[in-house]
Amino acid sequence: MKKEDLKMSYDEIIAFHGHTCPGLAIGYRMSLAAMTALGVVRSGDEELVAVVENDACGVDALQCVTGCTFGKGNLLFLDYGKNAYTLFSRSSSKGVRVVFQAQSVPEGLRGDKPAYIRFLQECPEESILTISRITDEPPKPARIRNSIVCHSCGESVMDTRLRQIGNRQVCIPCAVTHELVI
């Protein structure tokens, strides 16, 4: 994928995120690299699935570049604290994992945010990213689940997130509160 094939410019991605920062630039480069390695274009629906291993700024860039979102169910979060994204194409059943190599950034750049961002945008991809093919199957498409009313707070909750307390089905926060009271 080339920058000119994007639906959103980098400036629009900055506007979506709220500010420019190294994390956004990293996520942008990682997302472009994954799309290029898979030979795919932005997902209109659930053709692509992204698995992110952090909840940092770069994930906003990934959403804009790939079209993968939590709302569509094709953006999955694993709380590993790693700057790593795995992108799958459902049509080809192929996937790639892209990892940012922080140690590749010259030490002197970290204190100069504009220079750091410029470096991230201009350096050769292979100098900061490791890209590997994934042999795993893509995650299954998102399922629309039933909502059930929590017997404690009265709010609707996805049926798979209910907990059984005695003979009552309750949401996770109410179940946790119940456990704290016991």
122 and 164, same domain (yes or no): no
Quick: pLDDT tens for 3-61.
556 678 899 999 999 999 999 999 999 999 999 999 999 988 889 999 999 999 999 99
Tokens of 132: 């590997």
82 and 12, same domain (yes or no): yes
121 and 159, same domain (yes or no): no
- Classified as helix, coil or strand, 54 is coil
The CATH number given to whatever domain includes residue 28 is 3.30.1330.130
- Tell me if 153 is assigned to some domain: yes
Give the up-direction half-sphere exposure of residue 160: CA atoms within 13 A in the CB hemisphere.
Answer: 3
- Tell me if 139 is assigned to some domain: no
- Tell me if 50 is assigned to some domain: yes
- The range of the structural domain enclosing residue 57 comes to 3-134
Q: Is residue 182 predicted with pLDDT exceeding 90?
A: no
- Tell me if 100 is assigned to some domain: yes
- Tell me if 141 is assigned to some domain: no
Q: Are 158 and 145 in contact (CB under 8 A)?
A: yes
Portion of the chain with pLDDT greater than 70, in percent: 94
Q: Are 90 and 47 in contact (CB under 8 A)?
A: yes
- Tell me if 106 is assigned to some domain: yes
- Tell me if 142 is assigned to some domain: no
41 and 98, same domain (yes or no): yes
pTM: 0.83
Q: Are 126 and 100 in contact (CB under 8 A)?
A: no
Element (H, E) at 100: strand 94-100
d(CA 136, CA 121): 30
Portion of the chain with pLDDT greater than 90, in percent: 79
Q: Based on the structure, what is the number of domains in the chain? A: 2
Confidence of residue 157 (pLDDT cuts 50, 70, 90): very high
